[in-house]
Amino acid sequence: MLRDLKPAVLIFVVLTLLTGIAYPALMTGLAKLLFPAQASGSLIEKDGRIVGSALVGQPFSDPKYFWGRPSATAPMPYNGGASGGSNQGPLNPALEDAAKARIAALKESDPTQTAAIPVDLVTASGSGLDPHISPAAARWQAPRVARLRGIPESRLAQLIERHHEARQFGFLGEPRVNVLTLNLALDAFGK
């Protein structure tokens, strides 16, 4: 029996070293060499300290900032450890109640805004961590942000346009605006 066990243990150790240590170390090294920012989490720094990631949404509730998509993660919004959708189907009354509450909050934040609210400001993404909103969602919020910051709306429109990201490779995904980078630029704009 010991004779049969020896090759099995040897294969286990060799495969553990190859697939558990050597391969991950090689892939991590290549990623850091070829894509250093992405391999480190696409972290964003401001004044020498990390303020977030370009890949994970951040909670913004101050009306002077652009707001991102709602997050379905719990117990706190944009919790990477709880990534996932709400799993509420379109006929679930809880989904409808949540959407109505979000619509009411958006209308309350800017009672003068009468345009239709873009759907991405009312619904969470599949991961609950989406860092982007549509250009339409950014433009919808622009009058509120411009008024509260004392910035001409035309200048804010230019700022949104500078942070507009096109479809990847021209056909993947949707046009989008990263909320964190837009808000950081907004803070820098006001200085």
Which pLDDT tens digit goes with each residue over 51-101? 888 888 888 989 999 999 988 887 788 887 777 776 778 888 988 898 899
**Structure confidence at residue 160 as a pLDDT band (50, 70, 90):** very high
Burial grade of 163 (CB within 10 A; 0-12, 13-18, 19 or more): buried
**If you average pLDDT over residues 106-110, what whole number do you get?**
93
The pLDDT of residue 1 is: 75
Q: DSSP code of 111?
A: T
Report the alpha-carbon distance of residue 29 to residue 189 in Å, rounded.
Answer: 37
The pLDDT of residue 190 is: 61
Task: Tell which wins on pLDDT, 156 or 77.
Answer: 156
pTM for this predicted structure:
0.80
Contact 136, 117 (CB under 8 A): no
The pLDDT of residue 92 is: 86
Q: What is the CA radius of gyration of the chain?
A: 22
The pLDDT of residue 33 is: 93
The pLDDT of residue 108 is: 93
- On the question of pLDDT at 129 being above 60, the answer is yes
- On the question of pLDDT at 104 being above 80, the answer is yes
- On the question of pLDDT at 141 being above 70, the answer is yes
High-pLDDT (> 90) share of the chain, %: 59
- On the question of pLDDT at 175 being above 90, the answer is yes
